[in-house]
Amino acid sequence: MEAALVVFVVALALGFDYTNGFHDAANAIATSVSTRALTPRVALVMAAAMNFVGALLGTEVAETIATSIVDLGDTSNRTALTVVLGGLVGAIVWNLITWWFGLPSSSTHALIGGLVGAGLAAGQPIYGAAIVDKVVLPMIVSPLVGFLSAYLVMVAVLWAFRNAAPSRVTRRFRIAQTASAAAMALGHGLQDAQKTMGVIFLALLTVGWGEREDGIPLWVKLSAAAAISLGTYSGGWRIMRTLGRRIIELDPARGFVAESVSALVLYVNAFALHAPVSTTHTITSAIMGVGASRRLSAVRWGVAKNIGAAWVLTIPAAATVGAVATWVLHPFLG
C-alpha cells in the first residue's frame, strides 16, 4: 500500500509540475511574444528547453521545500504521504482556477500553501520561522525589488538612448529580448522545477527511500525537468495575454529590461538565499516597474489590482483546499 501511495504521490507531483509549466509559461515569454521579438511557437520551444536546463542547475530550493515547510518526522508514513498528497491537490486546484480566469498567481505559493494547510489539517507541526524567512519575506521583498529595479534600469536605458534613432533602438532591443527571455526561462526552471523535486524528495524521505545526506536522486531531477518543460511547451495563452498586453503595452526595450531584472532576482534567490520565490510575482512587478517609467497612468492598475488580489489569496486558498483534501483522504489513507 505504501509503495503504491508513493508512486501515486510522485505521479501527482509531476502532474503539478506540468500545470506549473503551462500556468507559468507566460512568465518567460509573454513580453517577447507581445513585442514580436519571438513568435509564440519559437518562444515556447525556447522556454521549454531553458526550463529543462535550469531545472538541473541546483537543488537548494528543492531542499528548502523538502525540509523547511512541514515537519513529518514524527508521524506514520501513510499520514505523511497523505499530507503531501493533500498539499499537491491544493496547489493543483488553485493553479487550475487561476489559469482559467487568466490570473498570473504563484504556483510556488500555491504549493507551499497547500502543504501548510494539509500539515495543519493532519495535526503536524510546520516550520513557522523558516516559512517566514524563506517564503513570507521573499514574497514581500522580491516584487518590490523587481518593481523598483525595473523602474530604475528603464529610466537609465531611456536616458542612455535618448538621442538614438527609435527604429534602430527598437530593432536592437527586439534581438536582445531573445537572450533576456532565455535567461528568464532558465530562472523559471531553476526555481519552479526544484519545488516539485522537493515534494518528491519529501515523499521519498518519509518512507525511507532516500537519505537527506545523499541529496536528490538524478531520476527525480530529470523527471521534474521533463514535466515542467512539457507543460511549458503546452503554453499558457490566457495568462500570456494578461502579462503581455493587459498590464501595459510593452515595447522591446521595456520587455528586455523586465525580463533581465526578473531573471537576476530569480538567480539571486536560488543561488544565494535558497528561497523559493515566485517567478510570477517577480516578472509581473517588473512589468509594472517598466510601465511606470513611462508614466504611472500607463499601468492598468485595475488589472494590477485583480492580480494583487490573487496573490494575497493564493496561500490561504491553496491551504484551505489542501486541508479539505487531507481531511477527506485521511480516513482512507492515514
Look at residue 213 in the predicted model and tell me its pLDDT.
80
Q: Are the C-beta atoms of 112 and 276 separated by less than 8 Å?
A: yes
Coil, strand, or helix at residue 126? strand
**Grid coordinates representing 248?**
501595459
Give the per-residue pLDDT at 234.
Answer: 76
Into how many domains does the chain fold? 1
C-alpha to C-alpha distance for 161 and 179, rounded to whole angstroms: 20
Asked if residue 327 lies in contact with residue 121, where contact means CB atoms within 8 angstroms, the answer is yes
Give the number of C-alpha atoms closer than 13 A to the C-alpha of residue 175, restricted to the C-beta side.
Answer: 5
Per-residue pLDDT at 239: 54
- Whole-model pTM: value is 0.84
**What is the domain extent for residue 186?**
2-333
* pLDDT in the model for residue 60: 85
Buried b (16+ CB within 10 A) or exposed e, 213-252: eeebeeebbebbbbbbbbbbbbbbbbbbebbbebbbebbb
Q: What are phi and psi of 143, to 5 degrees?
A: -65, -35
What residue ranges of the chain have pLDDT lower than 50? 244
pLDDT of residue 283: 83
